[in-house]
Amino acid sequence: MTLENINFEGKKALIRVDFNVPLNEQQEVTDITRIKAAKDTIIHVLEHGGAVILMSHLGRPENKEQEFSLQHVVSTASDILGVEVKFCSECTGEIAQQAADNLQPGEVLLLENLRYHSEETAGDHAFAKALSQLGDVYINDAFGTAHRAHASTAIIAEYFEQKCFGKLMEKEISSLEKVMETPERPLVAILGGAKVSSKITVIENILEKVDDLIIAGGMAYTFIKALGGQVGDSLVEDDKQDLALEILEKAKETNTAIHLPVDVVTANAFSEQATIDKAPINNIPEGWMGLDIGEKSRDNFDRVLLGAKTILWNGPAGVFEMEKFAEGTKALGRSVAKATENGAFSLVGGGDSVAAVKQFGFDDQVSYVSTGGGAMLEMLEGKTLPGIAAIKGE
């Protein structure tokens, strides 16, 4: 199931990568980690006489919005790979087939965002089959998306005799499996960010595995509102409030300490130009939203982290992309770095989390940086990820 066992001479390798990278308002790539991480696999195929067809998603488009076009990563990918990356405006159909057919050994083609087609996330078999017709060999190197049972990450493997993991997948799986099996305790997980509905369900399952859980970023407000707090216009998933309460109850049974922020930096708009203020997290006025954790919360989390022996961090503590709301994430980074210096093993994962630790210079002060956030958390649950199971034929 490794690249070494496949002869790529004259073959077209269809590689699922995770090029879901952060972009700024000008649609420029602001963190290249995930593209660099895919380089070894791509170069391996090219150096062994093959051609490469890359497929990925970018963001969560609903209606083929141009801001989610993979065209935006073409020039960055070309620079990183040192090879011109050709772009195809479709990922299936005649145009894509023709582009794939014309590809010569040593060439790289990137297909348009797979999620422009709802069949991708639906795990549609016909769509997976259509994708499979573009290449001779299937490689899954998209660790960041390995927890999704989508057409290009899982279903597609059925249509290939020759399939394997890429080098990034191999590295991530072996590094994370080692830590997840017998983590030194206390094990502290930090969960922040904005993907509330998809990650809140993970919390329920990791409670048995972790000793402390810090809930920060946009993830906290659903819990605070469920507890009766006033969160103003902060990010909340109303239909997840019951689940939030169930999680808090279950945490008592599993003896997991849940740490929520107590204070926040508030803003009157989701904007760098917003007026900012401070508030207790359960008393945010209407028209205001919490966009970062406050100083007391930073101190509380610091104390928890300094007692940890293993730390798993996914999701920033605030909207770190805007300077006004970056201090909480910086403080968390400082605490994790300090704990690591004191002997804890620390893992940071997720597209935006990695961008944050790199931006603030903590990436070489943590033990391991993973390209996957949700994927890393689901490995902690003890699950076999669909993207991994598909290659193994499980």
Ligand X SMILES: Nc1ncnc2c1ncn2[C@@H]1O[C@H](COP(=O)(O)OP(=O)(O)O)[C@@H](O)[C@H]1O
Ligand Y SMILES: O=C(OP(=O)(O)O)[C@H](O)COP(=O)(O)O
Q: Which residues bind ligand Y (CB under 6 A)?
A: 18, 20, 60, 144-145, 148, 195, 198, 350-351, 372-374
Catalytic residue among 318, 328, 333, 351: 351
What is the enclosing helix (H) or strand (E) of 55?
strand 51-55
The option from ligand X, ligand Y, none interacting with 183 (CB < 5 to 8 A, set by class) reads none
Instruction: Report the C-alpha gap between 33 and 170 in whole angstroms.
Output: 17
The option from ligand Y, ligand X, none interacting with 217 (CB < 5 to 8 A, set by class) reads ligand X
Site for ligand X in 178-237 (CB under 6 A): 192-195, 217-218, 235
Alpha-carbon dihedral of residues 134, 139, 144, 145, nearest 10 degrees? 50
Q: CB of residue 311 vs ligand Y: minimum separation in angstroms?
A: 17
> Which residue type occupies 233?
D
Closest-approach residue to ligand Y (CB): 373
Reading the block at residue 39, the tokens are 């380089």
Residue closer to ligand Y by CB (options 179, 281) is 179
CB contact at 8 A, 181 and 22: no
Catalytic residue among 195, 225, 298, 330: 195
Whether residue 185 lies in the annotated active site: no
Write the CA distances from 384 to 41, 46, 147, integer angstroms. Answer: 22, 30, 8
CB atoms near residue 315 (< 10 Å) = 28
Site for ligand X in 254-313 (CB under 6 A): 290-291
Residue closer to ligand X by CB (options 78, 175) is 175
Whether residue 351 lies in the annotated active site: yes
Residue closer to ligand X by CB (options 78, 367) is 367
Degrees to nearest 5, angle at CA 51 with 138 and 114 = 50
Q: CB of residue 166 vs ligand Y: minimum separation in angstroms?
A: 15
Whether residue 193 lies in the annotated active site: no
Cβ contacts of 9 within 8 Å, gap of 6 or more: 48, 49, 50, 105
Catalytic residue among 12, 16, 34, 225: 34
CB contact at 8 A, 150 and 123: yes
Residue closer to ligand X by CB (options 351, 387) is 351
Selected binder of ligand X within 61, 123, 294, 316 (CB under 6 A): 316
Whether residue 195 lies in the annotated active site: yes
**Of 306, 367, 302, 313, which is closest to residue 339 (Cα–Cα)?**
306
Q: CB of residue 44 vs ligand X: minimum separation in angstroms?
A: 27
Degrees to nearest 5, angle at CA 311 with 308 and 314 = 145
The option from ligand X, ligand Y, none interacting with 18 (CB < 5 to 8 A, set by class) reads ligand Y
Annotated binding site for ATP: 199, 290, 321, 350-353
List the catalytic residues. 34, 195, 351, 374
